[in-house]
Structures are given as C-alpha cells and as structure tokens.
A and B are shown apart, each in its own frame.
Chain A
Amino acid sequence: MSNIFFIGLSLSSILLLIALGLSITYGAMGVINMAHGELVMIGAYTAVLSGIYLNLNLFFALPLAFLVSAAVGLLMERIIIRRLYGRIIDTLLATWGVAILLQQLIRLEFGLTFFGINIKGLGPGLQKMEVPLFLSENFDVLGVTVQPYRSFIILLTIGLALLTWYIMYRTSIGTQVRAIMRNPQMAAACGIDVKKVSAWTFAYGSGLAGVAGVLLAGFKAVVPTMGSSVVVDGFLVVVVGGVGSLLGTLLSAVVLGQINGFFAILTNDIVARAIVFGVVILIILLRPNGLFGFKSR
C-alpha cells in the first residue's frame, strides 16, 4: 500500500514542480504559457549537454538548467508576451507557436543540421542523462525499499516549493508579486514596477520548469517532444488548484497525482489519466476559479 502511495507521491512531485512554475506565471501575469513544457525540455537538454561537454553531473546541472530556462523565459516575456498583455487566448496561441519554435530549434540543432553538422546531444533522437550512482541503486530502510532517485525528486520538490513559498510570502518582492496578482493597476499606483517584477516572476517560474526538466531527464527519455505531454498536465493542475494560489496548486498536484496513481494500479495507466482528465473537466465546470482561486486580472 505504501508503495502505491510512494509512486503517486513521486508522480505528484514532478507534476507539482511543473505546475509550480506555471502557477506563478499564470497567477502573476495571467499568462497561459503553452511553451512551459518546452522550458522543461530545455532544462533536460541543458543537463544532457552539460553532461557531455562540461562533464557536469546532476547537481551542477540543476542550477544551470534553472538559469538557462529562466533566461529563455525572460526572452519570451520581453519579445512576445509583453505585447499581448491582457489577451489571454492570444497569449495561449502565441506561446504555442513558441513551443513549436523551441522544439524545432532543438530538432534542427539550432539550424546546424542544415549545414550537415550534427551536435551530439541535440537533434531528434533520444538522449539521456546519467544519474549519479549513489542515487540510482535502491536500498532498504527498516524493511521498506527506498528508491533514492525518486526520493531525491520528492525532497527537492518540497524544498523548492518551500523556497517559493518563502519568497512569495516572506520577502518584499514576493509581496509585490502578490499585489500584482490581485490588482496590477493598484500595484502600479503604489509604485511597484509591474513590468520588471512581472518579467522576473516569469523568469523564476520558467527556471523552475528547467529544474523539473533535469529531474525528468533522470528517468525519462529526453526528446524534443517531451515537453508537450507535460504542459497540459501542468495546466490542468494549476487551473484545478486555482489561479494564483500556491496552496491550491500543491493540493491539486497531490490530489490529481494520487488519483492517477490509484487508478493506475486499479485499471491501467491510460484509463487513470483519462479519469484524471474527467475529474478536471468536472472541477472546471463546477468551480471555474479552481479550488482555491480568486478572481483577479
């Protein structure tokens, strides 16, 4: 029984990490970033490439991926999202375009494929990241089999969630972000530099996606399309949890992850996911603002 719980928990934690970043960008800026999955993918590729060319292992890849994804996110915000302020559906569509763009850039190895150059670690094929040995072997604690890598993911996710909570609720910049979430015009009137804070918030959320990508790279194949499957899951978690509510995102990730895990054992993985989609649809129909959301923006 605890095994089921554990699997569900590790599924939840990846979902949470992805959703955390999304929750911040969606809540803070009202932006539905369909390219969030690609930011995850970029994090994963950063891990792969830094492993190959810089000989960095997992632990160094994590902050590096954070920075790379954050930078890409910042670029996206500056060039595109800023111009679509307030137009939610257009942002959704434009970021979908960015998602395609990013996927193709990786596939085409930033255009170098045209010249016949192939960079190891890029391109349309599968890549993988080595997980440090001490994390990949299971060990026993008091009769319970512990999967260290999955435990590491859970711990890291909790850590990042706490860090995010701390930033949002205990620092002045976090207060500014929350003010912008509630009422951007008022926040601007109070002297908050909405543009700058929004941009950095978006970057932070994107950075979290990068970290999720590194973790995913440890047990999933790294391919250009790995992002698309996670972005929808992430969004559904965020929407169910409620716009702008970190707690809502957390609970939603846990609940949906658990439902998924539970039904996966009961029936199979596929039906479990279908059920989760069904649950999400019901929740959006009955409580469009999510379980903990408030109407803002």
Chain B
Amino acid sequence: MDKTESKFAQKLDWSVYILFFIVVLGLPLLTDDVFWLNRISKYLVYGMLGLAIALSWGYAGILNLGQGLFFGLGAYMFAMSLKLKSYTSLQQGSAEPVPDFMVWNAEPGTPTELCCIVPGSWLWIPFQSQTFGMFMSILLPVFIAFIVASAIFRLRVSGVYVAIITLALVLLVRLLIIDAQPLTNGFNGLTDLGWLTLKGFEFDPYMVATYYLVAISCCIVMLLTRWLVSTRAGLILQSTRDDPNRSRYLGYDVASYQIFFFVVSAAIAGFSGMLYVIAAEFASPTFLDITFSISMVVWAAVGGRSSLIGAVIGALLINSIEAAVSESEIFKEAWKLIIGVIFILVVLLLPRGIAGVARDFAGWLESKSLKAKNSED
C-alpha cells in the first residue's frame, strides 16, 4: 500500500494541525472557567510529552521509558526559582529567600542563610534569578541527555537495552531526589511556589494569560518539531531507525543523529516540565515514577507513535477521559483497567494508533473518490 505523502494526505495533515491550533487557541473564548482552562493546560503539557516520545520512538526508533526524568528535571529546575520567590521563602528573616523545608531540615543553630543552611543549599543560590531557572529547565535535561545518549549510542547499545537503561536511569534519579531531603524536600516535593513573572506581569495559574502561555508554547513546539522532522535530517533519522547499518554505509554517523534527536526530545520534555510547574504550582518526585513515564508511551502509542499530532491528541484524549471518570473512585479504577486493555489492543492490532487509522481512512476516501472520478470518464 502506498504509505506516503499524496497531495491529499499532506493537505489533510495541515488541516488537522490548523484545526487543532484553532480549537486550542480558541478555547478561552468559549468559557470563563479558569479552573477548567488550567486543567486543559496541564493536558497540553502532557501532549508535548507525548510528542517528545513520538519524536524519539516513532521517528528515531528510540524507546525512552524514562522520559519523566527530563520532565522532572525541567520541572524541578524552574520550581526552585519559583520557590525562592514564594512568600514563605522571603519570610525566613534572612537577606535572601530561604525555602521553608530547608529551615525545618537544618541543624539547630545553623544561620538561616541560603549558602549554608543545609549541606549543598548553596546550589540554590543562582536560582534566585528566574531566568536562570528557565534556562536550567532546558539546559540540565539537555546536558544529561547528551551524556547519556553519547554513552548509549557511541557504544552502539540498541533496541530493548536502551529502553532498560532509560528505565533504570529515571528510577535512579528519583531515588536521589527523594534522598536529598534537605535540598529537595524529598517525597513532598517543592510546593508553595511563587508565580512566573515576565516584565512585571505575574502569571497566576488560574488566569487566561497563563493558559495562553502554555497553549502557544505547545503550538510552537509542535510546529518546530514538525519542521524538524520534515527536513533532510529528519528523513535521515528515519533511515537510521529503519536500518542503521545501511545508513552508516551511506556515510551517516548514525550515533550523532540519534544523540541529536534524543537531546531534542529531552529538551521538549524539560521545557514542558517548566510549563507544568507554572500551571500546577508544584514539582514532585512522582514526576519520575515509572508509571508516569510509561503512561507517556501509552499516550503516544494510542495516538500514533509516528505521528506528532497523533501523540498530542492521544495524550489529550486519554487524560481528558481519565479526568472525566475520576469523579467516582470505582470508575477511575475501571478506566485504568480499560486503558490497560486498550493499550494491549493497540500494541497487538493497531501499531500506528489512531493516527494510523485516520490515515488509512483518508487513503480509503481518496481512492474511492479517484475511482468515482475514473468511472465518470
């Protein structure tokens, strides 16, 4: 069957994107419910995570079972900045802000100074600059992704072992974050955060402006990623997924492509971590739970792992339904069961997810209309 880009399919692709943008950006016009909008912005963040997985898995053939690592790191980095801006941090009676949990964890008698209240607290000092926090949100995940990817791909580790390493990695870092209680507040995570402030404007999470911040970021990331995969580099990346040896023999340093796109995927995850903190006002070790990381894979699989917008829609769909059923405890658990079954069915029967079904349907429509045209002649 002809899989690729007929003119019709391309037009369809663009119209889905445009429709999506219109709906997402137009939502605030339909409702005043800022709580609802806040929820949707969280789902848009999940959508970006699904997109990051699709980029890595669908296009590069790299299954990252620990994407939560980069999401979590991005979230924590920015949450640190917002924590230092919070009212309580400024009330500790010291010149610079000091997070409340550090005070609780400090040895009696230690001066309440950010540099030395608990071991390592000086690491927090640069986060007094919100801009620093923003940069670190993306830089730290990128840095770690680069190191990890270089190790993995230069050593030509492949397939399932890559997935296992990413899994072990997110678990490892989760433990480290929990253990460093005086620095990270352990299990409790970073709560009681200040608000993002840009040019004097404060972004209250329950504000339409904040929704637009997240929504527009999401749309831009979608467009940029879409552009990225349609370049030659994107095509070559897919070739490394299909047959890395052949790609190598055509003169491409396969590892460098894998590293590049793994890092881009991590950057997207880190950025979405920052956005999440802005909308949800906390960062927690639960971001690094394996169930969360694997959920991202489920969203991408159901939506369509090789379709960026499919993965986004998959994430939105699943999370919306989950929210809708969470009113009742029983329905919530039943939904989890249903999602488990759906996931199994998708893996068994629908490897290209909803997007695949949509594309097949579009292809069928196209061939029918062609037939109709031909029979008219």
Contacts and interface: CB of A to CB of B under 8 A. Distances in A.
A100 B336 contact: yes
Contact of A288 (B161, B167, B169, B176): B161
Contacts of B167: 232
B301 interface: yes
Nearest to A107: B333
Interface in A75-126: 80, 83-84, 88-90, 92-94, 96-101, 104-105, 107-108, 113-114, 124
A97 B172 CA distance: 23
A49 interface: no
Interface string A1-41: 00000000000000000000000000000001000000000
Main secondary structure of the interface of B (DSSP, over half): helix
Interface residues of B, number: 38
B155 interface: yes
Contacts of A142: none
B284 to A, nearest CB: 16
B222 to A, nearest CB: 24
Most chain A CB neighbours (cut-off 10 Å) among B159, B163, B340, B351: B340
Nearest to A286: B155
A101 B290 contact: no
A270 B351 CA distance: 38
Interface in B334-351: 334, 336-337, 339-341, 343-344, 347-348, 351
A100 B337 contact: yes
A285 B155 contact: yes
Given A80-B348, A96-B294, A228-B291, A271 B179 contact: yes
B347 A236 contact: no
B186 to A, nearest CB: 9
Contacts of B340: 97-101, 104
A232 B291 CA distance: 12
Contacts of A88: 159-160
B317 interface: no
Contact of A84 (B63, B169, B333, B347): B347
A166 B336 CA distance: 41
Contacts, number: 106
A213 to B, nearest CB: 20
Nearest to B339: A100
Interface in A255-290: 268, 270-271, 273-274, 277-278, 280-281, 284-286, 288
A239 interface: yes
Contacts of A98: 340, 344
B90 interface: no
B151 A285 contact: yes
B344 A97 contact: yes
Contacts of B160: 32, 88-89, 92
Contacts of B341: 97, 101
A266 to B, nearest CB: 13
A104 B164 contact: no
A45 interface: no
A94 B333 contact: no
